[in-house]
Amino acid sequence: MKIPNPILTLFILLNPPLVLANIETCSDSVCQVREPVIRFPFRIEGQHAEPCGYPGFIVSCNQNAQTHLNLPNWGPLKIQTINYAAQQLWVNDPDNCLPKRLLSLNLSVSPFRAVYHQQFTFFNCSVKLPNLVRRYRPIGCLSDSPKYAVFATPSTTVVGHLSSVCDFVATVKVPVQSPFYDQVTSSELGEDLRLSWDSPACGRCESHGGRCGFKSDETFELDCYGFPSKGRSRPH
């Protein structure tokens, strides 16, 4: 029969296994003051060790200390806000031309999805039609020539009108911030995109003041730390 060594038991109690220590040292980080706080499931490349983040949640700080989310198929997005409890984030284009990015939107291989989306149709119109520019709002950053103007509309009536006089560009499902109950005729589409993630499901842990992380390096099993009622009783 193996008799537990009291000294060893005491040692283990005082020193939790190293992997757990690692998770607990995955501290909150920021690119600079007033930028969003980054923690699990996100990790800042070069600041947090790899087990501090979930695959696909890679953040970097650009040379202006802006917080960028790096999506595999879609290039960097500027993170405006993260709501860890709701598992949602708000992003925009670091180059301030979100509609241009929307034209190549592809979230299919990312862990993120739209909370709400609304379909917008883009048209490219010759400004020999000046009453169009008066009636609808052109997208400034895509209409950089005096010869044409680009419009995006969610309205089937406007689609009907513009498709008879302009070139069709694309139809895009835009991850808008809230469901639109009223139809706008056109939009510059500069507002932050609202995205959410389903996995890892750390919202409940976060909303109770806990912090989420991997249980160990070997599995993707999650644990909630500092959860007041159901938390791990930590040695001290």
The residues of the shown chain that bind ligand NAG, judged by CB under 6 A, are 73, 106, 108-109, 124, 142, 148, 150, 169
Q: Looking at beta carbons only, is 172 or 222 nearer to ligand NAG?
A: 172
Taking the complex as a whole, the smallest distance from the CB of residue 126 to ligand NAG amounts, in Å, to: 8
Least separation in angstroms between CB 214 and ligand NAG: 27
d(CA 139, CA 106): 21
Listed in sequence order, the residues at least 6 apart from 38 whose beta carbon sits closer than 8 Å to its beta carbon are: 28, 29, 30, 31, 44, 48, 59, 67, 82
Nearer to ligand NAG, 5 or 171 (CB): 171
Work out how close the CB of 19 gets to ligand NAG at its nearest, in angstroms, rounded to a whole number.
Answer: 33
Q: Which is nearer to ligand NAG, 29 or 187 (CB)?
A: 187
DSSP annotation of 156 reads H
Q: Which residue in this structure is represented by tokens 């993170």?
A: 79
Determine how many CB atoms are found less than 10 A away from the CB of residue 36: 20
**Of 177, 181, 187, residue with least CA distance to 154:** 187
User: Cβ closer to ligand NAG: 72 or 235?
Assistant: 72
* DSSP-based three-state secondary structure for 108: coil
Strand ranges (E), the chain: 43-44, 58-61, 67-71, 75-83, 88-92, 112-114, 118-126, 148-153, 167-174, 193-197, 211-214, 222-225
Shortest spacing between CB 104 and ligand NAG, in angstroms = 8
Residue number, 149 or 224, with CB nearest to ligand NAG: 149
At 178 the three-state DSSP class reads: coil
CB of 108 to ligand NAG, least distance (A): 4
Q: What is the DSSP letter of 203?
A: H
**Distance (Å, whole) CA 167 – CA 3:** 81
72 vs 209, which CB is nearer to ligand NAG? Answer: 72
**Residue 109 CB, nearest approach to ligand NAG (Å):** 5
Question: Among residues 11 and 168, whose Cβ is nearest to ligand NAG?
Answer: 168
Give 135-149 as a DSSP string: HS---GGG--STTEE
Tell the smallest beta-carbon distance from residue 46 to ligand NAG (Å).
27
